[in-house]
Amino acid sequence: MTRLAEGTSEFDAVQHVDLHGHRVSYRTAGSGPVVLLVHGIAGTSEQWADVAPLLAEEYTVVAPDLLGHGQSAKPVGDYSLGAYAVSLRDLLVVLGHRRATIVGHSLGGGIAMQFAYEFPVFAERLVVVSSGGLGREVHPILRAATLPGAELVLPWLAHQRVLGAGGAVGQVLARLGLRAGPDIAEMARGYSSLGDAEARAAFLHTVRAVIDYTGQRVNAADRLYLTSLLPSLIVWGRRDPLIPATHGEFAHGEMPGSRLVIFEEAGHFPHLDDPIRFAAVLREFLEETDPTELEFTDHDIDELRERMLQHSAA
């Protein structure tokens, strides 16, 4: 049995698996029903380090580095929401997990919604946190990454001399309206991860798959009614400068039976602003809801068809 160093947790150990010829890195801890934690753009599984041990007391936590991020491979390929959803499904299968509650932050929220839509038999519950894909508005700093010439600016922002020059990136981000604390720290860390050409290319492909210069161009609003098929939770920071909390309030109105929790003092990263409360909210949701048990029998197909036809006729 491997012994952990003092002050570390099971979740701290990064593991790797080969999927379709590409390395996928992930962290896992605990035992019980599976909770799949999906980070946002330019993030990594490490963002869940304060939340995962609290969940692992009763659940199996799995948190991957998405392809193009962290220690996972950064191949030339498809960085769409659909491709990410498939890779998550395949990771669950390889790790021997049949179903999971999927929790997605920011870009990960869009991926989580796509996962639940594409693979409903794998999704027990849906949790979106400061999620993309629920409206047009998004901070100009992300829209700027879609503009011609972004390829030339990113190497400068990610250069170690710039990052070390008195917190230059953090100062720029503060001027752009990002809050001190997790918002600036995580955005700066995200930029620092783009130091090599492969990481920058993956970042730009990912951003441009969901955003253009006018804002978010991928929107799940027309299918949100289908989330009535599974328990759903929406978590947002009221002071989110990247994606406004009004998107979460809108989604709550369009997702029958969903729960909405607003962290009034948090920004774009409520799970980092207040990980203890976040874990408590998530555990309460898990304990008080029953996982959906769609198996796509003839009855399930008929029910899904009826919901679609009713929505189209409304």
| Region of 21 on the Ramachandran plot (φ > 0 left; ψ -120 to 50 alpha; else beta) | left
Looking only at Cα atoms, what is the longest distance across the chain?
62
Spatial distance between the Cα atoms of 295 and 297, rounded to a whole number of angstroms: 6
50 belongs to the catalytic site: no
Catalytic residue among 106, 131, 232, 258: 106
268 belongs to the catalytic site: yes
Tokens 């919604």 correspond to 113
The DSSP bridge pattern shows strands 211-212 and 123-129 to be: unpaired
The percent of the chain in helix, strand and coil, each rounded to the nearest 5, is 45, 15, 40
Catalytic residue among 268, 271, 273, 274: 268
Amino acid at position 273, single letter? D
Q: Taking the chain, what is the end-to-end CA distance rounded to the nearest angstrom?
A: 59
302 belongs to the catalytic site: no
Catalytic residue among 65, 183, 240, 274: 240
Collapsed DSSP state (helix, strand, coil) of residue 43 = coil
The residues annotated as belonging to the active site are 106, 240, 268
